[in-house]
Amino acid sequence: MTTPSTPAPYQQHPGVPGYVSPVPLRRATLLDALASEWTKIRSVRSTIWTLGVMVVLVVGFGALIALALRSVDLPEGESPVSLGFVGVLLGIIPVITLGVMTIASEYGTGMIRTTLTACPSRARVLAAKGIVFFLLTFAITLVATALVSAAISGILGGSTAGSVWLGATVGVSAYVALLGLLALGVGSLVRHSAGAITIMIGVVLLPLVMALFMMSEGLRDVQQFLLEYSIPSQLAIFYGTPMGEDGPTGWESLGLMGALVALVLGLAFLVQHKRDV
Amino acid sequence: MSASSVAGMIEVSGLTKRYGEKVAVHGLSFHVSPGIVTGFLGPNGAGKSTTMRMMLDLDHPTTGRVRIDGKRYAELREPLKYVGALLDAKALHGGRSAYHHLLCLAQSNGIPASRVGEVLDVVGLTAVANKRSKNFSLGMGQRLGIAAALLGDPEILMFDEPVNGLDPEGIHWIRNLMKSLAAQGRTVFVSSHLMSEMALTADHLVVIGQGRLLADTSMAEFIRTNSRSYVRLRSPQQEQLLDVLHRAGITAVTAGHGALEVDGVGAEELGELAARHQIVLHELSPQQASLEEAFMQLTAESVEYHAHAQPTEWRT
C-alpha cells in the first residue's frame, strides 16, 4: 500500500442533526465566576491552614506580649494597641502564601486548564480570584486584629484614640489584604508557588535588611528611604509608631500599596492573554 | 461559510503551532461533525494534545484558526454548555473533593448545582463524592474528568486519551458512553494513540503524525485502503522458492522465522506455482495485516520517538 499524501476529502455525515440540550442557557457573568472562586477557596485545606495560622499568630503574639508587659510602663503617647504589630508582621507570611497559592496552585496542578475551559475569559477568572481572595482575607484579618486589639486593651488598660483603633484594625487589615493581592498578582505572573512566595518574602524583608547594612554616609538617603517605605515600616505606621519622621502616613501607605497592586495585577491581566497554559 | 451554520461542528483550518524552532502542529485542517465519533489518531508526540489545547483556546496557534459552531472558543459565553472536554485526568486540584471540583465548574457557567449529583451518578463516583481527588486512582480521575465534561450537557465532547488508566470494565463503559453520546446527535472527538481502540469506537478518523495531517477519512474507508492482505509462505527450499518467484516476476519479502511474504498475488496462484516447480511448502496462508500495522505504516516516517529494536524487519 501507499501512504496517502493528500487526505481523502471531507464528507459531511448525512442525516444526523446536532444535539440540543434541554438544560436552559443563561448568560454566565462575573457573579458566576465569583461563586465558583468562592467554592474553590473554601474547599481546599490550604485556605483553612494559612488563614488559621495567621489568626493564631496575630492574636497569640499580641496577647502574649501584652501579658508579658503587664508590669511595664509604655512610652509616653504610645497606645497599647500598637503591641499587636509583631503578630501582624508574622501573620503577613501565611497571607502571602495563600495569595500566591490561590492562583499558582492551579498552574501547579493543571486545574487552570479546566478552569479556563469552563471560563475562557482569563480576565474574569483573575478578577474573580482577586475579589474573593481580597474580601476573605480582609474579613478574617479584621476579625483577628479586632480581637487582638480588644485583648491587649483589656489586659493593659490605658486609653486609645479612635483613629488608632481604626488604623490598627481596618487600616492594617486592608493593607495586609492588599499585600496578599500583590502576592496573587505575582503568583499569576510567575505561575510557580515556591518561586512566587520566595519573591514576595524578598519584597517584604529585603528592603529593611538592606537598609540595616547601608552604613556609609553616601547611602544615608537611600537607607532612610528604605527604612520608611519598607513594608514592615509602612505597617508600623498604622500603629502610630513610624520608623522615620518624613515617611508616609497610614492612608498614604494604603494608597502606595494599592498602586503597586494595580501595577502588578494590570501587568498580569495584560500578560496572561498572550501566554499558553 | 456554510459549514459554520451546523450546530456542533468543529472546523480546524490551517492550524500551526511553533515552539521556537520546533513545529508541533503544521498546517492542520479538518472538520469534526455531529452525530458520529471522530477519532483523532497519532503516535505519541504527534501534536494531538497541542491541537486540542488550541481548539479550547488554551494555547494560541501561531497561525490558523478553530471555529466551534462558527465561533472562537473564547467567544462562547457558557462554554460548558457547548463543549465538554477531558484534557487529562490530573487537570484538577487534588486537595478538593470531587463534589466541590464539579460544583465550582458548574457555578462558573451558571449550571444548577443539582447537575453535579447527576453527573457523579453517571460516572459512578457518587460514593466518593466527598473524598479528596488526590487519593483517586487514574481511572477514577478519568471518570471525574468525564463527569466534568458532561456537566453542561454539551453538544460537543472532546476527550484526550480517555481510556488511559482505565480497567477493562472502564474501557468498555467509555466506549459505550462515546457511542451513545454520538447517537444522541452530539459531536464526539476523541484522541488516542491506539488504532485498535479507535477501530472499536470511531466512525471517522483524523490521523496526524509530527503535526501533519496523514489521513482524514471514514473508518470503513480507512480499513478498506489500509488493511493490507498478503500471503505467507514457508518452505524448506527457500532459496529455490525465491528464485522461482523472482522468475515469475513476484516480489517476496523475507519476514521472521524463515517466512516469506508476498503482496498482491493469491494463495492459489502461489501454491500452483510452487507445485509446478516441485517445491515443498510448509505454510501457505493468506494474511490480513492488522489495522495496528496499517497505522504504524501510515505513521512510520513521522514517529518521533523510535524504539530501535525491531522484532521483525520493517516492511514498506
Chain B hits for A27, CB-CB cut-off 8 Å, are: 77-78, 110
Note every long-range contact of A155-161, with CB atoms under 8 Å and residues 24 or more positions apart, other chains counting. A155/A63, A155/A66, A155/A67, A155/A70, A156/A66, A156/A69, A156/A70, A156/A74, A156/A80, A156/A83, A157/A80, A158/A74, A158/A79, A158/A80, A159/A79, A160/A79, A160/A80, A160/A81, A161/A79
Confidence at residue A8, expressed as pLDDT on a 0 to 100 scale: 37
Which fold, B229-288? Alpha-Beta Plaits (3.30.70)
Chain B hits for A20, CB-CB cut-off 8 Å, are: 7, 155, 185
Judge: A117–B79 Cβ closer than 8 Å, yes or no.
Answer: yes
A103: contact with B, CB 8 A cutoff: no
Query: Same CATH topology for B3-225 and B229-288?
Result: no
The rounded distance, in Å, linking the Cα atoms of A258 and A260 is 5
Interface of B with A in 84-103 (CB under 8 A): 85, 87-88, 90-97, 100, 103
Confidence at residue A12, expressed as pLDDT on a 0 to 100 scale: 40
Q: Please check the confidence at residue A6 and state whether its pLDDT lies above 80.
A: no
Chain B hits for A8, CB-CB cut-off 8 Å, are: 215-217, 221
Confidence at residue A5, expressed as pLDDT on a 0 to 100 scale: 41
Chain B hits for A35, CB-CB cut-off 8 Å, are: 107-108
Closest CA of chain A from B50, distance in Å? 10
Percent of chain A topping pLDDT 90: 63
ipTM at complex level:
0.87
**pLDDT tens, residue order, chain B (316 aa):** 444 446 889 999 999 999 988 999 999 999 999 999 999 999 888 999 999 999 999 999 999 999 998 999 999 878 999 999 998 877 889 999 999 999 999 999 999 999 999 999 999 999 999 999 999 988 899 999 999 999 999 999 999 999 888 889 999 999 999 999 999 999 999 999 888 889 889 999 999 999 999 999 998 888 877 777 889 999 999 889 999 999 988 888 888 788 888 988 889 999 999 999 999 999 999 887 777 877 887 787 666 555 554 454 444 4
Angle (CA) B81 B75 A42, round 5°: 60
Of A4, A26, A276, the CB nearest to B215: A4
Judge: B215–A8 Cβ closer than 8 Å, yes or no.
Answer: yes
Confidence at residue A212, expressed as pLDDT on a 0 to 100 scale: 85
Confidence at residue B77, expressed as pLDDT on a 0 to 100 scale: 79
HSE-CB for A112 with a 13 A CA cutoff: 25
Per-state percent for chain B, helix, strand, coil, to nearest 5: 40, 25, 35
Question: CATH assignment of B3-225, given 3.40.50.300, 3.90.960.10, 3.40.50.1820, 1.10.10.10?
Answer: 3.40.50.300
Q: Please check the confidence at residue A240 and state whether its pLDDT lies above 90.
A: no
Spell out the domain ranges in chain B: 3-225, 229-288
Closest CA of chain A from B58, distance in Å? 6
Chain B hits for A127, CB-CB cut-off 8 Å, are: none
Q: Considering only CA atoms, which of A142, A133, A132 is closest in space to residue A54?
A: A142
pTM score: 0.85
Interface of B with A in 120-149 (CB under 8 A): 148
Q: Is the CB of residue B186 less than 8 Å from the CB of residue B34?
A: yes
pLDDT digits (tens, 9 = 90+) for A91-150: 999 999 999 999 999 999 999 999 999 999 999 999 999 999 999 999 999 999 999 999
The rounded distance, in Å, linking the Cα atoms of A213 and A210 is 5
Chain B hits for A18, CB-CB cut-off 8 Å, are: 6-9, 34-35, 155, 185-187
